[in-house]
Amino acid sequence: MSVTAQNGPDARRVASTWREWTRLLGSLIAIAVLVAAFARGAWAHSLDEVDTMLQGDEKYFQQIDKPAPDFTLRAADGRIVRPVDLRGKVVVLHFIYTSCPDVCPLHAEKIAEIQKMVNATPMKDRVTFVTITTDPTRDTPDVLRDYGPAHGLDPVNWLFLTTIQGQPEDTTRKLAKAFGHKFTLTDDGYQMHGIVTHVIDKEGRWRANFYGLNFAPVNLVTLVNALTNNIERPHDEPDEGWLAKLKGLF
C-alpha cells in the first residue's frame, strides 16, 4: 500500500471512527462501573440502610444528622451565597486555601474525581460542589476562579466561596470549626488542618463526613445518589432516581 493510501481520506475516517468508538466504550464502561457500585445503595429502602452499608464498607465515613452551619459568603463571580440558596441540591462541601503546598491540592483533585463521577449521570443537575477558602486575604476572586479548573473542577456545578467585604478575616476558619475541624495559622503563613469532606442534603441537613483522602469516591457518590433520590421518605411519592431512568433505556 502506498504512503498516500495509508494517509488518505479513508484512513483518516477510520482513525476518527475508531477514536469515537473508543470514547463511547470508555463512557459505557464508566457507567457500568457506577451502576454496579451503586446497585445496593440505589435500591435501599431508607437512608439508614445506606448509612449501615457505608459504615461497614467505608472506615472513613461518619454518619451525621443535624442542621448544617449557616453562612453568608461570596462566590468568585461576586454572588452572595447562603445555604438557603443551595436548597434543593445535595451539597458536597470542603475547606482549603490555595497557597497550601500539600494536602489542599490533593483534596481539590479528590473532589474533582467525585464531581466527574456525579456529572457522568443525571445527578449532575442535582448536586453542587462547594469549596470554601480559609485564607480570604490572599485568595482573591481571580485566584479562586483559576484554582478549580487548574485542579480538574468543573464550574458548571462548582462554587469557590470567600468572605464578604467587611467580614472578619477569620470568618471562614470559624465556619470550618463549626463543621468540626480547625485551621490554625502558623508563624510561616501556612495553616495546620485536617481533611474532611462534608455532605449536606437538599433540605440543608448535614448528613455525613468523609475523612482524609483515602476514602473510596464511589462510597461518597453512593450516599449522594441516595440523597438525590429521597429514599428516606418511603411514604412519599418516590422520586425516580437516575439509576431507574438508566435502567429504562435498556
Triad 230, 50, 205: Cα angle to 5°: 50
SS3 116: helix
**Which amino acid makes up residue 106?**
L
Burial of 166 (0-12, 13-18, 19+ CB in 10 A): exposed
What is the sign of the dihedral through the CA atoms of 233, 203, 244 and 40?
negative
Phi, psi of 235 (to 5 degrees): -95, -10
100 is in an annotated binding site: yes
Any binding-site annotation on 107? no
Task: Check whether 45 is labelled as a binding-site residue.
Answer: no
Specify the DSSP class assigned to residue 83. Answer: G
Residues contributing to the annotated binding site for Cu cation? 100, 104, 193
Residues contributing to the annotated binding site? 100, 104, 193
